[in-house]
Structure formats: structure tokens, C-alpha cells
Amino acid sequence: MEYLIVPMEPQHLDACVEIERTAQDPWNAAQLAEELSCQMEGGASRIYLAVEPSTQQVVGLAAWQLAGDEASLNTLTVDPAHRRRGIGRQLLRQSLALLAQQGAAYAFLEVRHSNLAAQGLYESVGFSVQGLRQNFYSAPREDALVMSCDGVQSFISAQQEADDVYTGN
């Protein structure tokens, strides 16, 4: 199933807070509200949601910062009831395409050293390990791998091809 990837709006806040509560390092309501406000005022924040088309249910979110040609992923969380369906990959790919359309050429993220599933997801779309941040995470204390992707512009053409297949063009 293809999900709609849309920018977060105020009416999505409660659903996003509930999804984030399931993350290992969750953002709270105040953090999400602050990032949403920054996005709506034209700031660096970009929050994209995966929405189930028939029910309009928010099933995932990706929060980014876009500064110049660099995008940094702050959080990517999919509702546990919807995991292992490709939503995270679709959300990651399509949000990268949207960021590329806004000028992003590079993307960066940190991921827990122990989170092999997330590392596999990021590698599957073109991220690679660039370094290590010691003791980056707390509760529990853990190192973070720094991953980057320098081919962000390629997501624009890949998204256009996917859109053409989806619409039959």
C-alpha cells in the first residue's frame, strides 16, 4: 500500500505525540509543537507524515532540519501497529525527495549503535556510516553512528518515476 506523505499541520499534533511515545528516544508534545511552529513560520523545521489514504490516519512521522543544502533527520517513527510494511522506507525516500526539491544535497542523521533495524533502513536508501558520537544517547547511555547520504538530489527523479508508475503515466 502506498501512503500519502504530507507536511505536518496543527491537527496532526496529538497523533504525532502518540506515535512518538512509542520511540526509544521520544519527542514530547512541546518539542513537536515547537518544530511545527518553526515549520509553519518558514523556519528550518520540516516534519513529514505518512498518512493512510482511506482513513487519513497518521501512521508515521519524520522530523528534519533543513539548513542551506544540508538536511538533518531528528526523528523517524512509525506507529508499532504499522511497522514492517515499508512505511518507514517510503517516508524516508519521499521526505528526502521533498527536501531535495527545497535545495537539500546532503542528509545526515545519528542512530543508536544497537539499532540494527534502523541502520539497515538508512543503508537501504543510500546512507553510509561516517563516524561515531560517543555517549550521544542517554537512558540508556549509548554511542551514535553518524550516517550521511550525499545523493539527495537523486531522490527527486526516483520520486517522479514512482509517481509516474502510480498514476499510470
Tell me the catalytic residues.
110, 122
Exposure letters 74-112 (e unless 16+ CB within 10 A, then b): bbbbbbeebeeebbbebbbbbbbbbbbeeebebbbbbbb
Start-end of H helices in 12-148: 13-20, 29-40, 87-101, 116-124
